[in-house]
Amino acid sequence: MKKSFSPYSLLLMLAVLLASCSKLLEEKNPGGLTAEAVFTTPEGFETLVTAAYTYNRWWYGKEDGYNISEMGTDLWTSGTGDKYTDLSNYYNLQSSNTAVRDLWRTLYAAVNLCNTGINRIDQAGLSDAIKTRRLAELRFLRGFYYWHIVETWGNVHYTEQETTETITTANRTPVDTFYAHILKDLEFAVANLPPTTTDYGRATKPIAEAFLARISLTRGLNQQAFDLADKVIKSYGYILQPKYADLWSMSNLANKEVIWAVNYFKNLAFNDRTDATLYPGGHPRGAHNGHLMFIMKYDDLAGMTRDIANGRPFNRYMPTLYALRLFDETKDARYNATFKQAWLCNTLGTAPAGMKIGDTAVFTTKYEIPADVEATKKYRIYDVSKMFKADGSGLDRLHYPSLQKFDDPTRAAFNEEQSPRDAFIIRLAEMYLIAAEAQLNLNNPGKAVDYINPIRRRAAVTGKEAEMEITAAQVTLDFILDERARELMGEQLRWFDLKRTGKLESRLKLANPDATVNFDAHHLVRPIPKDQVDAVTNKQEFKQNLGYQ
């Protein structure tokens, strides 16, 4: 049984407080504690390292992170409840977007805390072995956070220095320089992290190697990407779950396919929903909330009322028709594991005559149902022509097959927004797909097949394993992107996948009419938050990203 790595404690909160440059927070330090007093003890320094992990909770399993990493791609369009249609559809996306602003602030705060620890570790009183390990963790996390920054905003500010006072200038570091530093940090982490940990959630050597494989693929270092992914697949005891659906069970979260995850607390009180001291703006963090985002509006329909099993429908994100049609569910079990299509009657108060509790009340389908067939059914049907226009854009943005991978029927109440579900950051299936893409890029499609077919066999409907296998002639970059979509849908990688492969614009034209009409090349990076651009004094050197105001 793996020990859960707890990212919260009183000392941890103190560490975040001391690492902050916020004048408001400094004024609320009644004990007069300083970073020098806390981080020069082994116990105090441990709180800093632990705190450095917490910032990934702002991105993974959170609405802002989903909008930046999944929306505006070939797989998703806006549901009626989408808060950030400017990100989803590139419609008048500007520097005032609050998701962009909050994630910028959070990621740079994370980097600053990592820099603080890296620069102060020699004075922390740690043993040599612990010092090397904690330094490797901090450098891994710095590289991890900087990857999100450079991919999201491009050639923006880079520093390895701790910020202890207000800085009014910013630099424009080239993307290649960003990546040179990221690669250096990750290589140090790979060389110095242990192969295992009893603290589930802490960085280890295979976690660093897996992330470095992702970065290597992004940078066109295909042989290195393959070697690292292959090593992670073969060397550490990770295994694909026997069934794809098994991955998403609330009782099976810390399974052997998961390489790295944000491990949220089962006791929701410890998940930092809001904290008036650390986050005076009241920004909600909390636990996983992916279960809210993808659910269609079902509780307005006959025979249905909101309940725990069906979830609280925020109705933010709707799959594109292209996403639904990627699957052949007669042989690929991932479709039924990924999408909920039927809702069962849970109230008789609004149910049609003759319907019983547990009968189908609502059915959504990517197919067309003939009117004479529909007339024979008691339940409500939303077929393809009711959900989508002829060009594939959304028509009914309230009712559609809903991503169910993040559902949580263990929540205590039907309106509970938090779930203790872990948010997977890296899992083994991604390593197979990285290895395959790297081999394709190295002109070895036959070898790529050796890494695609295990994923497809695992995904097969029982008895259809052979039919799911492919040949080298079928391996193209577009096939791999489709396979990544089927396997990793909703797992906060898609926008980066399309950007990495140079396919974002073409895939939007292929699959997402709602977004392609507004997309322009400048959307390959996001706008720098307005308050950041306004605050710098070297405005000639540090300007807003091209195309944004």
Share above pLDDT 70 across residues of the chain, in percent, rounded to a whole number = 91
User: C-alpha angle with apex 514: 510 to 518, nearest 5 degrees?
Assistant: 95
pLDDT digit string (tens) for 490-544?
Answer: 999 999 999 999 999 999 999 999 999 999 999 999 999 999 999 999 999 999 9
Q: Is residue 310 part of a domain?
A: yes
Assess whether pLDDT exceeds 70 at residue 128: yes
Q: Which three-class secondary structure state does DSSP give residue 518? A: coil
Q: Is residue 325 part of a domain?
A: yes
Q: Is residue 379 part of a domain?
A: yes
Q: What is the pLDDT, as a whole number, of residue 34?
A: 67
Q: What is the pLDDT, as a whole number, of residue 544?
A: 97
- How distant, in Å, are the alpha carbons of 249, 344, 429 from that of 409? 10, 15, 25
Whether the CB-CB separation of 383 and 367 falls below 8 Å is answered with yes
Beta-strand pair 360-364/380-382: parallel
Assess whether pLDDT exceeds 90 at residue 245: yes
What is the rounded average pLDDT of the residues 402-431? 96
Q: What is the pLDDT, as a whole number, of residue 265?
A: 80
Q: What is the pLDDT, as a whole number, of residue 285?
A: 60
Q: Is residue 365 part of a domain?
A: yes
Whether the CB-CB separation of 42 and 134 falls below 8 Å is answered with no
Nearest CA among 453, 192, 459, 252 for reference residue 337: 459
Q: The domain containing residue 331 runs over which residues? A: 295-403
Q: How confident is the model at residue 385 (pLDDT cuts 50, 70, 90)?
A: very high
Q: What radius of gyration do the chain's Cα atoms show?
A: 24
Q: How confident is the model at residue 164 (pLDDT cuts 50, 70, 90)?
A: confident
Q: Which of 10-14, 184-188, 263-267, 278-282 has the lowest mean pLDDT?
A: 10-14
Assess whether pLDDT exceeds 60 at residue 277: no
Q: Is residue 330 part of a domain?
A: yes
Share above pLDDT 90 across residues of the chain, in percent, rounded to a whole number = 87
User: C-alpha angle with apex 216: 211 to 218, nearest 5 degrees?
Assistant: 100
pLDDT digit string (tens) for 332-377?
Answer: 999 999 999 999 999 999 999 999 999 999 999 999 999 999 999 9
| Mean of per-residue pLDDT scores for the chain | 91
Whether the CB-CB separation of 486 and 327 falls below 8 Å is answered with yes
Q: What is the pLDDT, as a whole number, of residue 316?
A: 98
Query: Structurally, how many domains does the chain consist of?
Result: 1
HEC string of 457-485? HHHECCCCHHHHCCCHHHCCHHHHHHHHH
Q: What is the pLDDT, as a whole number, of residue 411?
A: 94
pLDDT digit string (tens) for 319-331?
Answer: 999 999 999 999 9
Tokens of 276: 């008036």
Whether the CB-CB separation of 75 and 319 falls below 8 Å is answered with yes
Alpha-carbon distance of 295 to 312, in angstroms, equals 7
Q: What is the value of pTM for the model shown?
A: 0.92
Assess whether pLDDT exceeds 70 at residue 213: yes
Q: How confident is the model at residue 112 (pLDDT cuts 50, 70, 90)?
A: very high
CA 92: distance to chain centroid?
A: 24
Q: Give one DSSP letter per residue of 283-343, joined into a string.
A: ----SB-HHHHS----TTSTT----TTT------EEE-HHHHHT--TTTBTHHHHHEE-EE
pLDDT digit string (tens) for 279-313?
Answer: 545 455 679 999 999 999 999 999 999 999 999 99
Q: What is the pLDDT, as a whole number, of residue 15?
A: 38
Whether the CB-CB separation of 277 and 17 falls below 8 Å is answered with yes
Q: What is the pLDDT, as a whole number, of residue 49?
A: 96
Q: What is the pLDDT, as a whole number, of residue 8?
A: 34
Q: How confident is the model at residue 14 (pLDDT cuts 50, 70, 90)?
A: very low
Q: Is residue 276 part of a domain?
A: no
What are φ and ψ of residue 39, in 5° steps? Answer: -80, 0
Whether the CB-CB separation of 293 and 481 falls below 8 Å is answered with no
Nearest CA among 496, 267, 282, 513 for reference residue 390: 513
Q: What is the pLDDT, as a whole number, of residue 280?
A: 47
Q: Which of 23-37, 260-274, 387-401, 448-462 has the lowest mean pLDDT?
A: 23-37
What is the rounded average pLDDT of the residues 419-445? 97
Nearest CA among 272, 274, 283 for reference residue 104: 283
Nearest CA among 430, 526, 472 for reference residue 217: 430
Assess whether pLDDT exceeds 90 at residue 11: no
Q: What contacts 495, CB < 8 A, 6 or more positions away?
A: 68, 69, 70, 71, 72, 73, 504
Alpha-carbon distance of 175 to 156, in angstroms, equals 8
Looking up tokens 């927004």 gives: 417
Residue 282: left if φ>0, alpha if ψ -120 to 50, beta else—which one?
Answer: left
Reported as type and span, the H/E element at residue 424 is strand 423-427
pLDDT digit string (tens) for 29-86?
Answer: 334 456 777 889 999 999 999 999 999 999 999 999 999 999 999 999 999 999 999 9
Q: Is residue 312 part of a domain?
A: yes
Q: What is the pLDDT, as a whole number, of residue 3?
A: 43
Alpha-carbon distance of 430 to 213, in angstroms, equals 10
What is the rounded average pLDDT of the residues 469-492? 98
Assess whether pLDDT exceeds 70 at residue 25: no
Q: Is residue 172 part of a domain?
A: no
